[in-house]
Amino acid sequence: MYYEDFENAGQKGRSGDDIYSKPVRAGKRTYFFDVKATKGNDYYLTITESKRRVEKDGRFVYDKHKIFLYKEDFDKFSEGLQEVIEFIRRECPIPERKGDENSAEPDKEQPATPASFTDVSFDEL
């Protein structure tokens, strides 16, 4: 598949038509897994992270970040993602939390993160 196939992917009616979409709500974020088609009817995946925030004037806006994943990269991408997820689960397990299991905020009653780790927020990256 070539880059030229994706240049107009966002234009409705020509290419980039949505074939299948799966939203995943996770705390303050929503992830969208969208299967789209090129002009040549070849499929590709877009992954979009959307996070709602409030402007100073009180309006809601959405910060969105998108990546395009082409089918020839699926195997390497999924292998790398699985390896990293397994590493994180092994090295820094998720503490048990009360309440909403999708919450990104730990309960105040839970012990603090071990001193050997730095508390990093993805918003800071």
pLDDT digit string, tens, across residues 4-61: 343 344 444 445 678 999 999 998 899 999 999 998 989 999 999 999 999 999 999 9
Q: Which of 70, 32, 28, 72 is nearest to 48 (CA)?
A: 32
Residue 106 clears pLDDT 50, i.e. is over it: no
Contact (CB, 8 A) for 110 and 94? no
Angle at the Cα of 25 (from 56 to 122), degrees rounded to 5? Answer: 55
Contact (CB, 8 A) for 97 and 105? no
Domains by residue range for the chain, with CATH:
3-95 (3.10.450.700)
pLDDT, residue 101, reads 53
Positive/negative CA dihedral, 72, 23, 93, 28 = positive
Contact (CB, 8 A) for 8 and 49? no
pTM of the model: 0.59
